[in-house]
Amino acid sequence: MNKVSRWVWGAAIGVYAFLYLPLAIVVLFSFNDSNLNAEWVGFTLKWYVMLFNDEVMLEAALNTLGIGLVTCVVATVLGTLAGYAMYKWRLRLLPVLVLTPIAIPEILMGVSLLIFFVMLNMTLGLVSITLSHIAFCIGFVAIVVRSRLQGMDESLVEAARDLGASPAMAFRKITLPLIMPGIIAGALMAFTLSIDDFVISFFTAGVGSNTLPLEIYSRVKVPMKLNPEVNAVSTLLMMLTLSLILIVSRVAPNALRAE
Amino acid sequence: MSKPVYGRVGRFAKWLISAPPLVYLLIFFALPALIMMFAAFRFPGDYGGLLPLTEVDPETGKQTVLITLDTWRDYLTFENFGRFFEDAIYLELFIKSFWYAGLTTLICLILAYPLSWLIARSNKKTRDLLVLLVILPFWSNFLIRVYAWMIILGPQSYFSRMLNGFLGWFGIEPVSLLFSQFAVIIGLVYVHLPFMVLPLYANLEKHDMSLLDAAQDLGANAWQRFWKVTWPLSLPGVWAGVALVFIPALGMFAIPDLLGGTNSMMIGNLIKQQFLDSRDWPFGSVLSIMLTLSVLLLAAVAAWAGSRHKKKD
Amino acid sequence: MKYWLVMLALLAGTAQAADELNLFNWNNAVAPATIKKFEAQCRCKVKETYFGSMEEALAKLSAGAKGFDVIGPSNYGIPPLAKQGLLQPLDKAKLPNLKNLNPAFANTPLDPNNQYSVPYDFTVTLVGYNATKLKEIGVQADTWAVVFDPAILAKIRGKVTVLDDPREVIAAALRYNGFSANSTNPDELKKAIATIKAAKPYWAAFNSQSYIKELTLGNIWVALGYSNDMYQAQQDARAAKRAFQLAYGLQKEGNGMTADSFVISKSAPRPDLAIQFIHFMLEGQNAAEITNAIGAGNPNAAAKPFIRKELLAVPAINPDATQASRLEQLADQDGKTRRAWNKAWTELKLQR
């Protein structure tokens, strides 16, 4: 067992290194005194100074975070319901509707949502972006939650029911805590997908509703603006989200943990 | 499997639970997507978009419907589907994309399994932190992360120089890592890895350790314990991870654009090209339908095979 | 906070702030200082929305996105927008500054009589290169042969990138073969494709996004790209004190050229502010700030006195008469030609 676990540890550390190698470069270069973003020159904080004076970028970051959080909450609730329903009952339509948004090319989804919103005469903006993000995130949550439920021991739920718990009560007290790791995994994916989305956001964004990916991609053609300020905002957003999660888990420890 | 809940209460619960996601997806996904699916049967507009089916009089502002029972042939067609089948390059591109996505999924699975297993086995406090650490790098911007890979794979990086120094010992010509199929696969694996780790972790976390202990008591070695106990139990998680990596990887276009060389095009690039450079939305829709159908077909076959497998047991 | 305000506004159905000009344009095409100056003059607020690709912006507008007053498309985007009824004609009476326009850029086939558009900058598709390296090897970059001739490419194998854009690369190959960049002749297209096929094995990548960086780092020696990007690469290399020099210049066979223009959206909430803005941008000094900031060429004759001297010395920014005669504005293609080129491009990319 010891030899095996040493091997597993080694592999896991290797994978973490793979995940963090590019991130290290992103963070490191946010302190790099060169606008090339390609090789280490010297330490500076000027990109952070530039960032704090760049209203456009800060607003985009805030929009991104807001859209990400709302998307995460709504998609997680809807996705959990969908995942549970797909596990519990033999449904025809729902599984197809859950899988297709993942399979369909983003650009088709972006164009079709734009046409749809225009038909509804809806003002494009943060709301339309959020609605669209929720639509493509539900599937990710649902699939993870269902896989968590599969092969679950039903006897606990039945025991609770035998003891007089209502189905809703049994779900809340037994099933929900059991599938919590699946829900958290789904929520993390939904949040990640939302804050990183470009294509669908581009089409469903309206006048002045900028998100971070939209701002950064529009700078690709303007290399003088695609400088380490972008690394700085990435680093900052990451830290902000991390502290948000840590605070939530301190204030309400049970909200994030499966017990 | 699960017992169906019968009776009025059961039906009510079924409705209550499945309706919210169903209605949401019908409104904000199915309805809009159907508009564009329908576009597959229409003609492209001369200047982009689609050939309009209605016309607005610039003076009166009155709208007239152009498509009628007599004229529908001028507005609707199967030709776009014909174009897909008449040229082998589209099929070739599909096969290539399936191969890239399949390879990506396999590598992700191999990398993710030990990591997920370890996270699931660690104590409750570190577990949350380890999960968070998996996803944390993905809260930085996509483009910036890929640019970081371009630095790592670039010819002047320590990694490239070390590799080429090593190859030089064996008398092998130096290789260029950036702008190659190798770089595309690395990029695809990197951006999809958390979508394999998270479902796997969510599954492995619930495994009952006493089963493994029992197997050990019965004299099973580590490999047998994995292959006979852990692996079969983790299959739902594996399938979820495979779906969440394989399907998005199949439609990817940004990674081949950024890291690929002169022949790293994938089906996603072609679809993007149809909607943008070609301004040929109908053919873009045809390709999207083909891609979506092939994924659904694959999922149906997998589900069918899974249920057959279970019956045999 | 803002998010919830927007949500509330949407629910309440309140109208947006009145004195606001909405600009849909390339990021940074108009310098922030210029925007501030206009805001002070019109006593309004300018809100900018950006795009990073013309075709993305076209797809978005074709699908019906509204709310923009002024759009800043590349000129080949004007016909599709105009023909789809998405633009409104300019009221010339309100644009006395139109006289400042260089006649060579006025009244082009893409917008006869400037009915809809006023150009504000132009870029040339050309070759940017590592002058130090190419001198060492003895390769000249004043001809498209540096990108297309296998005999020359053999010396710089794997050190060349070209734009990931059939329109630009096939146009360059057409010029290399002595044809018009806007040719619709299938035989000429075939020749151009054959040229690209022969050259492709020597190229490192189709790259529209990062060639500036690769040039500056010295990873790539030759890149087929845009003049304003090459200007940027040159500046970056100098700032980073590279051991080599980057340069860019026109090719003797002639280059493709693309102007960008301001147009007014048909659904513009504030057409009055829109025309005011276009007029403002036609003033010599304001127009010159574009060139000074991004190193693009300038179609405004009155801008010249305000453009930095060293920029005026660059042929791609300020071509003389002979050079200008070899620049060919890329036309918008009809649907059939466009699809033929794109299909050829797909086949090229699939071929090993």
Task: State the pLDDT at residue C18.
Answer: 67
According to DSSP, residue C99 is labeled G
C218 contacts in A (CB within 8 Å)?
none
The encoded tokens of residue C98 equal 């139109």
CB-defined contacts A:B, below 8 A: 286
> Which among A9, A93, A196 is the nearest to B118, CB-wise?
A9
Task: State the pLDDT at residue B8.
Answer: 66
Minimum distance, in Å, between the CA of residue B277 and any CA atom of chain C: 6
Is residue B257 less than 8 Å (CB to CB) from chain C? yes
Taking all residues of chain A, what is their mean pLDDT, rounded to a whole number?
89
Task: State the pLDDT at residue B161.
Answer: 87
A73 contacts in C (CB within 8 Å)?
none
Mean pLDDT of C335-349: 92
Inter-chain residue contact A143 with B117, CB threshold 8 Å: no
Inter-chain residue contact B272 with A22, CB threshold 8 Å: no
Q: C240: buried, middle or exposed (CB in 10 Å: 19+, 13-18, 0-12)?
A: middle
Inter-chain residue contact C28 with A35, CB threshold 8 Å: no
Judge whether C352 is annotated as a binding position: no
Task: State the pLDDT at residue C16.
Answer: 47
Task: State the pLDDT at residue B56.
Answer: 77
User: Does residue A245 or residue B272 have the better pLDDT?
Assistant: B272
The answer, yes or no, to whether residue B312 has pLDDT greater than 60, is no
Inter-chain residue contact A123 with C67, CB threshold 8 Å: yes
Vertex C265: Cα angle to C263 and C270 (nearest 5): 105
Task: State the pLDDT at residue C15.
Answer: 44
Inter-chain residue contact B154 with C209, CB threshold 8 Å: no
Task: Please tell me the distance from the alpha carbon of residue A103 to that of residue A153, in angstroms, as a whole number.
Answer: 31
> Which among A107, A147, A241 is the nearest to B139, CB-wise?
A241
Inter-chain residue contact B144 with A231, CB threshold 8 Å: yes
- Yes or no: say if B8 and B256 are a contact pair by the CB < 8 Å rule: no
The encoded tokens of residue C92 equal 């010339």
The encoded tokens of residue B88 equal 């082998």
Mean pLDDT of C127-142: 96
The answer, yes or no, to whether residue C14 has pLDDT greater than 50, is no
| HSE of A156, CA atoms in CB hemisphere, 13 A | 13
Q: Where are the domains of chain B?
A: 79-312
The answer, yes or no, to whether residue B256 has pLDDT greater than 80, is yes
Mean pLDDT of A232-251: 87
Task: Please tell me the distance from the alpha carbon of residue A168 to that of residue A148, in angstroms, as a whole number.
Answer: 19
Neighbouring residues of B58: CB distance < 8 A, sequence distance ≥ 6 = none
Tell me what percent of the residues of chain B surpass a pLDDT of 70. 96
Is residue C233 less than 8 Å (CB to CB) from chain A? yes
- Yes or no: say if A23 and A235 are a contact pair by the CB < 8 Å rule: no
Confidence band for B206, pLDDT divided at 50, 70 and 90: confident
Which value does ipTM take for this structure? 0.92
> Which among C28, C56, C213 is the nearest to A225, CB-wise?
C28
Closest CA to C214 of C237, C247, C238, C245: C237
β-pairing, C160-162 with C70-71?
unpaired
Confidence band for B212, pLDDT divided at 50, 70 and 90: confident
The encoded tokens of residue C184 equal 């619709």
Closest CA to C57 of C38, C29, C37: C29
Cα–Cα distances in angstroms (integers) from residue C332 to residues A165, C67, C338, in the given order: 70, 25, 9
β-pairing, B54-56 with C70-71?
unpaired
Confidence band for A251, pLDDT divided at 50, 70 and 90: confident
User: Which of C49, C62, C165 is best to mutate for the A interface (most A CBs within 10 A)?
Assistant: C49
> For residue range C251-286, what is the model confidence (pLDDT) as tens digits?
999 999 999 999 999 999 999 999 999 999 999 999
> For residue range B227-236, what is the model confidence (pLDDT) as tens digits?
888 899 999 9
Is residue A44 less than 8 Å (CB to CB) from chain C? no
The answer, yes or no, to whether residue C201 has pLDDT greater than 60, is yes
Listed by number, the residues of chain B in 1-30 with a beta carbon closer than 8 Å to a beta carbon of chain A are: 2-5, 9, 13-14, 17-18, 20-22, 24-26, 28-30
SS3 C226: strand
- Yes or no: say if B190 and A18 are a contact pair by the CB < 8 Å rule: yes
> Which among A63, A66, A207 is the nearest to C49, CB-wise?
A207
Minimum distance, in Å, between the CA of residue C49 and any CA atom of chain A: 5
Closest CA in chain B for residue C338: B278
Closest CA to C164 of B142, B143, B272, A106: B272
**Integer Rg of chain C from CA:** 21
Mean pLDDT of B131-159: 91
Which strand (E) or helix (H) includes residue A121? none
Inter-chain residue contact B48 with C219, CB threshold 8 Å: no
Domains of chain A by start residue, with CATH: 48-256 (1.10.3720.10)
The answer, yes or no, to whether residue C6 has pLDDT greater than 60, is no
The answer, yes or no, to whether residue A174 has pLDDT greater than 50, is yes
- Yes or no: say if C88 and C274 are a contact pair by the CB < 8 Å rule: no
Task: State the pLDDT at residue B176.
Answer: 84
> For residue range B272-310, what is the model confidence (pLDDT) as tens digits?
999 999 999 999 999 999 999 999 999 999 888 877 776
End-to-end CA distance of chain B: 13
Inter-chain residue contact B112 with A15, CB threshold 8 Å: yes
- Yes or no: say if C6 and C17 are a contact pair by the CB < 8 Å rule: no
Buried b (16+ CB within 10 A) or exposed e, B173-194: eeebbbbbbbbbbbbbbbbbbb
Q: A168: buried, middle or exposed (CB in 10 Å: 19+, 13-18, 0-12)?
A: exposed
Domains of chain C by start residue, with CATH: 2-122+259-318 (3.40.190.10), 123-256+331-350 (3.40.190.10)
DSSP assignment string, B31-92: HHHHHHHHHTTBPBPBTBSB--SEEE-TTT--EEE---TTTGGGTB-SHHHHHHHH-HHHHH
Cross-strand bridge partners of residue B55: B64
Task: Please tell me the distance from the alpha carbon of residue C86 to that of residue C95, in angstroms, as a whole number.
Answer: 21
The answer, yes or no, to whether residue B2 has pLDDT greater than 50, is no
> Which among A38, A114, A210 is the nearest to C65, CB-wise?
A114
B20 contacts in A (CB within 8 Å)?
77-78, 81
Is residue B128 less than 8 Å (CB to CB) from chain A? yes
The answer, yes or no, to whether residue B142 has pLDDT greater than 80, is yes
- Yes or no: say if C283 and C289 are a contact pair by the CB < 8 Å rule: no
The answer, yes or no, to whether residue A256 has pLDDT greater than 90, is no
The answer, yes or no, to whether residue A259 has pLDDT greater than 60, is no
Task: Please tell me the distance from the alpha carbon of residue B268 to that of residue B290, in angstroms, as a whole number.
Answer: 12
A89 contacts in B (CB within 8 Å)?
4, 14, 18
DSSP assignment string, chain B: -PPPP-HHHHHHHHHHHHHHHHHHHIIIIIHHHHHHHHHTTBPBPBTBSB--SEEE-TTT--EEE---TTTGGGTB-SHHHHHHHH-HHHHHHHHHHHHHHHHHHHHHHHHHHHHHHHHHHS-HHHHHHHHHHHHGGGGS-HHHHHHHHHHHHSTTSHHHHHHHHHHHHTTPPP---SSSHHHHHHHHHHHHHHHHHHHHHHHHTT--HHHHHHHHHTT--HHHHIIIIIHHHHHHHHHHHHHHHHHHHHT--HHHHHH--TT---HHHHHHHHHTTS--HHHHHHHHHHHHHHHHHHHHHHHHHHHHHHHH-
Subunits with 3+ Cβ pairs within 8 Å of A are B, C
Please report, as a single letter, which amino acid is at residue B164.
Answer: N
Taking all residues of chain B, what is their mean pLDDT, rounded to a whole number?
88
Inter-chain residue contact A26 with B295, CB threshold 8 Å: no
Please report, as a single letter, which amino acid is at residue B277.
Answer: D
The answer, yes or no, to whether residue B237 has pLDDT greater than 90, is yes
End-to-end CA distance of chain C: 53
Closest CA to C219 of A32, A188, B179: B179
The answer, yes or no, to whether residue B29 has pLDDT greater than 50, is yes
User: Which of A6, A15, A51, A250 is best to mutate for the B interface (most B CBs within 10 A)?
Assistant: A15
Mean pLDDT of C344-351: 90
Task: Please tell me the distance from the alpha carbon of residue B107 to that of residue B188, in angstroms, as a whole number.
Answer: 10
Task: Please tell me the distance from the alpha carbon of residue A195 to that of residue A244, in angstroms, as a whole number.
Answer: 15
Is residue A221 less than 8 Å (CB to CB) from chain C? yes
Buried b (16+ CB within 10 A) or exposed e, A178-189: bbbbbbbbbbbb
* Sign of the alpha-carbon dihedral angle for B90, B92, B95, B99: negative
C350 contacts in B (CB within 8 Å)?
89, 92-93, 96, 263, 265
Vertex B255: Cα angle to C199 and C65 (nearest 5): 105
The answer, yes or no, to whether residue B98 has pLDDT greater than 80, is yes
Cα–Cα distances in angstroms (integers) from residue B302 to residues A98, B243, B306, in the given order: 16, 10, 6
Subunits with 3+ Cβ pairs within 8 Å of B are A, C
Task: State the pLDDT at residue B50.
Answer: 87
Inter-chain residue contact C62 with B45, CB threshold 8 Å: yes
Closest CA to C261 of C103, C70, C68, C82: C70
Task: Please tell me the distance from the alpha carbon of residue C174 to that of residue B188, in angstroms, as a whole number.
Answer: 35
- Which single residue is written with the structure tokens 């679950």? A152
> For residue range A184-204, what is the model confidence (pLDDT) as tens digits?
999 999 999 999 999 999 999
Judge whether C308 is annotated as a binding position: no
Confidence band for A161, pLDDT divided at 50, 70 and 90: confident
Fold of B79-312: MetI-like fold (1.10.3720)
Task: State the pLDDT at residue A139.
Answer: 96
Cα–Cα distances in angstroms (integers) from residue B140 to residues A30, A50, A133, A152, in the given order: 12, 18, 18, 35
Task: State the pLDDT at residue B103.
Answer: 98
Closest CA to C257 of C214, C218, C300, C228: C228
Vertex C213: Cα angle to C209 and C219 (nearest 5): 110
Confidence band for C7, pLDDT divided at 50, 70 and 90: low
Confidence band for B175, pLDDT divided at 50, 70 and 90: confident
Confidence band for B1, pLDDT divided at 50, 70 and 90: very low
- Yes or no: say if A176 and A100 are a contact pair by the CB < 8 Å rule: no
Judge whether C165 is annotated as a binding position: yes
